[in-house]
């Protein structure tokens, strides 16, 4: 390829005081402009493009690519293809900036696009895109789940707070070292203190009564060691100063790992319940007294007959003594036996009257520790008086060393008298040989059991269904409250009243009362 380089002279310069390109003393030629370059001729350079490609392109590059030079009309001027023609897959072009000519240098790789690599890349991109989509989907689902859990948690917290505010049961939590760490609004209202005043308190608590504090005294640290209870009652003090009874249920507070972190307590204000119990107890006392009076009304004729005998005897002995004194024949040896018999008959009459008086007299319940034999002996004269009226024999099997019991003596006497009276009525139509009332008293574990056994007709199934119902009686003159009152009395003492058929005919009524505890009872306050 030929390349022309034009040559021009520089007319702007001067040499030795003359203009450049002008000889000294020569005049300027006509038609020449002063200061313009003068064309002198051209230099022609001729070069072979194929040789340039051969020399300038490295062999390793020419082995994998077809290199060509094209002109402005895209005609190939020179080409080098050591490895063969290009496949038009990987191409590149670059303009050659040469003066006076426009040429392009092009490369065309002889390599085809890699099938496996491209597929792997495409598959990788697809897998990554799918993985990214799945990750975004899971992230979105996780966000939704978290939002749902947070919403549910907020709802539960709101519900728990609403429930705590609406509870009438006081709740409190104590840590393992005995500090209060939580109280609900109901407990705060119960003791008249705010949550801030209660949290952090340690025994003795400010809502304890003075009696409670004094009950522990030096053993106060032991009160900080709680024991699981099925429920117990004590007394708290309001901040205003008044005291009120409460019922407490305590249980261990266990975390999600099964470790105990404290003690959870629920406290009930039982002031109204105590008032109701007191009113009910007073009503029951009135009903029991009415029943005792009714019993005494039924026993009135028997009492008159029973008292008539000692009074007649006293009158007879007194008349005899008076006759002896009037006749002037008074011997001390004769008077002493008569006076002794008079005294015995007077004691007998006084015992009957005192038993009736103690049985009927109005008074409140008074549970005391007594020997059971004393209670039984107190009511024995009334039992004997009834048995004599019905011509019924009595048989007693009472243990001599019965333990003390914590009872209201008059109430237990009423139970014994009612059961024996029912048994006597059940046998009044039997032949004389079968009229036997058997009474036993023995210890059964931590209780004293009394059995009243008769040989009567027994209790039918129809009667058994309503036996302890109020105002139900098989006797025309009966009130129907006897057995109901008896059961109430025994249950009040912590015992039970039951019945079962007598194998030899008749019925066995039995009741139990707990044995009195001789150990000191320590008040538990938490």
Q: What confidence category does residue 511 fall into, taking pLDDT thresholds of 50, 70 and 90? A: very high
Q: Long-range contacts made by residues 428-431, C-beta under 8 angstroms, separation at least 24?
A: 428/390, 428/392, 430/455, 430/456
What confidence score (pLDDT) does residue 452 get?
92
On the question of pLDDT at 65 being above 60, the answer is yes
CA distance 474 to 486: 17
What confidence score (pLDDT) does residue 140 get?
93
CA distance 81 to 140: 57
- Running DSSP on this structure, what letter comes out for residue 428? T
> Measured in whole angstroms, how far is the alpha carbon of residue 475 from the centre of its chain?
52
What confidence score (pLDDT) does residue 371 get?
85
Query: What percentage of residues in the chain have a pLDDT greater than 90?
Result: 8
Q: What are the φ and ψ backbone dihedral angles of 460, each rounded to 5 degrees?
A: -75, 165
On the question of pLDDT at 137 being above 90, the answer is yes
Q: What confidence category does residue 512 fall into, taking pLDDT thresholds of 50, 70 and 90? A: very high
Q: Which residues pair with 14 in a beta bridge?
A: 19
Which pTM does this prediction carry?
0.40
Residue-range domains of the chain with CATH: 1-25+32-46 (no CATH), 62-112 (no CATH), 169-269 (3.30.450.20), 275-514 (3.30.565.10)
Q: What confidence category does residue 491 fall into, taking pLDDT thresholds of 50, 70 and 90? A: confident
Q: What confidence category does residue 14 fall into, taking pLDDT thresholds of 50, 70 and 90? A: very low
pLDDT tens per residue across span 257-305 = 888 888 888 888 888 888 887 777 777 666 666 665 655 555 555 555 5
What confidence score (pLDDT) does residue 523 get?
38
Q: What confidence category does residue 230 fall into, taking pLDDT thresholds of 50, 70 and 90? A: low
CA distance 347 to 350: 5
Q: Buried b vs exposed e over 271-283: b needs ≥16 C-beta within 10 Å?
A: eeeeeeeeeeeee
What confidence score (pLDDT) does residue 522 get?
37
CA distance 364 to 31: 160
Q: Buried b vs exposed e over 184-208: b needs ≥16 C-beta within 10 Å?
A: bbbbbebbbbeeeebeebebebebb
CA distance 488 to 178: 41
Q: Buried b vs exposed e over 304-339: b needs ≥16 C-beta within 10 Å?
A: eebbeebeebbeebeeebeeeeeeeeeeeeeeeeee
The residue among 470, 475, 462, 460 whose CA lies nearest residue 507 is: 460
Whether the CB-CB separation of 412 and 365 falls below 8 Å is answered with no
On the question of pLDDT at 414 being above 50, the answer is yes
Span 321-331, mean pLDDT? 67
Q: Tokens 């038609």 map to which residue?
A: 31
Average pLDDT, the chain: 76
What confidence score (pLDDT) does residue 134 get?
92
What confidence score (pLDDT) does residue 17 get?
44
339 or 114, which is more confident?
339
- Running DSSP on this structure, what letter comes out for residue 516? P
Q: What confidence category does residue 250 fall into, taking pLDDT thresholds of 50, 70 and 90? A: confident
CA distance 80 to 64: 11
What confidence score (pLDDT) does residue 1 get?
63
Q: CA-based diameter of the chain, in Å?
A: 222
């Amino acid at each position: 390829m030929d390349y022309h380089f034009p040559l021009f002279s520089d007319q702007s310069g001067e040499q030795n005081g003359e203009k450049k390109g002008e000889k000294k003393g020569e005049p300027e030629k006509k038609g020449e402009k002063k200061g313009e370059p003068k064309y002198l001729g051209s230099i022609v350079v001729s070069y072979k493009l194929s040789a340039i490609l051969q020399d300038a392109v490295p062999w390793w590059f020419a082995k994998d690519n077809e290199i060509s030079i094209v002109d402005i009309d895209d005609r190939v001027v020179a080409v080098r293809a050591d490895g063969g023609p290009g496949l038009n897959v990987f191409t590149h072009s670059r303009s050659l900036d040469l003066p006076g000519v426009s040429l392009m240098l092009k490369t065309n790789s002889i390599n085809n696009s890699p099938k496996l690599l491209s597929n792997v890349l495409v598959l990788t991109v697809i897998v990554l895109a799918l993985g990214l989509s799945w990750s975004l989907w899971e992230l979105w689902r996780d966000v939704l789940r978290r939002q749902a859990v947070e919403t549910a948690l907020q709802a539960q917290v709101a519900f728990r707070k609403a429930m705590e505010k609406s509870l009438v049961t006081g709740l409190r939590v104590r840590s393992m070292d005995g500090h209060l760490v939580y109280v609900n609004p109901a407990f705060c209202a119960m003791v008249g203190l705010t949550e801030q005043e209660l949290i952090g308190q340690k025994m003795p608590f400010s809502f304890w009564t003075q009696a409670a504090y004094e009950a522990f005294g030096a053993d106060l640290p032991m009160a900080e060691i709680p024991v699981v209870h099925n429920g117990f009652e004590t007394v708290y003090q309001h901040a205003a100063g008044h005291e009120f009874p409460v019922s407490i249920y305590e249980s261990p507070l266990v975390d999600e790992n099964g470790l105990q972190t404290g003690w959870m307590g629920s406290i009930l204000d039982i002031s109204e319940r105590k008032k109701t119990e007191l009113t009910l107890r007073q009503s029951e006392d009135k009903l029991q007294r009415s029943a005792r009076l009714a019993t005494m009304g039924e026993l009135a004729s028997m009492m008159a007959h029973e008292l008539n005998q000692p009074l007649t005897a006293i009158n007879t002995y007194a008349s005899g003594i008076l006759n002896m004194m009037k006749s002037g024949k008074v011997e001390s040896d004769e008077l002493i036996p008569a006076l002794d018999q008079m005294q015995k008959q007077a004691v007998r009459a006084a015992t009957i009257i005192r038993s009736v008086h103690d049985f009927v007299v109005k008074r409140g319940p008074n549970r005391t520790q007594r020997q059971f034999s004393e209670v039984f002996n107190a009511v024995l004269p009334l039992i004997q008086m009834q048995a004599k009226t019905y011509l019924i024999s009595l048989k007693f099997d009472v243990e001599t060393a019965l333990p003390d019991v914590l009872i209201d003596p008059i109430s237990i006497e009423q139970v014994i008298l009612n059961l024996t009276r029912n048994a006597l009525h059940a046998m009044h139509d039997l032949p004389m040989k079968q009229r036997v009332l058997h009474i036993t008293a023995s210890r059964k574990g931590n209780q004293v059991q009394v059995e009243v056994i008769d040989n009567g007709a027994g209790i039918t199934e129809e009667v058994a269904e309503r036996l302890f119902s109020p105002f139900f009686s098989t006797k025309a003159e009966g009130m129907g409250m006897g057995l109901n009152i008896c059961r109430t009395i025994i249950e009040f003492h912590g015992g039970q009243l039951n019945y079962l058929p007598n194998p030899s005919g008749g019925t066995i009524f039995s009741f139990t009362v707990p044995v009195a505890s001789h150990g000191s009872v320590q008040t538990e306050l938490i």
